[in-house]
């Protein structure tokens, strides 16, 4: 089983891949895990991936372009197999255009839920 985690903090996620039960399973080649830095897909010189909400308000929202490009790469890595999970752990249905719903490998979006 392979996991691909899309995140703004790959070093934080990588720590989970190196320690505890997950680290042990990776060392025993039972599972594999890798991270994709969403910021690598930003097109401006500051690698900006968030923006102010449309219409104002507090907080920031994720720009769709870098996230979409990162998801496309993850689908190539996992060969389009697996489910895509949102931050609380729910599966994003394939009707939303991300997960294929076939199980097995997984892609996780590591973002803060609102």
What is the domain-level CATH number for residue 19?
3.40.1280.10
112 CB burial (10 A radius; 0-12, 13-18, 19+): exposed
Residue 84 CA to residue 64 CA, distance in Å, equals 16
Whether pTM > 0.75 for this model: the answer is no
In degrees and rounded to multiples of 5, residue 44 shows phi and psi of -90, 170
Q: With a cut of 50, list the residues of the chain below it in pLDDT.
A: 95-101, 113-114
What pLDDT is stored for residue 96 in this prediction?
Answer: 43
Q: What span, in angstroms and rounded, lies between the C-alpha atoms of 11 and 16?
A: 9
φ and ψ of 104, to 5 deg: 85, -110
pLDDT, position 87: 60
| Total of domains in the chain | 1
């Amino acid at each position: 089983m392979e996991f691909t985690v899309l995140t703004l903090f790959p070093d934080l996620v990588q720590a989970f891949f190196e320690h505890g039960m997950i680290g042990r399973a990776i060392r025993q080649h039972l599972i594999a895990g890798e991270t994709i830095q969403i910021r690598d897909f930003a097109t401006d010189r500051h690698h900006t991936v968030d923006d102010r909400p449309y219409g104002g308000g507090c907080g920031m929202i994720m720009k769709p372009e870098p996230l979409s490009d990162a998801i496309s790469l993850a689908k190539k890595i996992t060969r389009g197999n697996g489910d895509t999970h949102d931050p609380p752990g729910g599966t994003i249905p394939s009707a939303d255009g991300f997960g294929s719903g076939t199980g097995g490998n997984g892609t996780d979006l590591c973002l803060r839920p609102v």
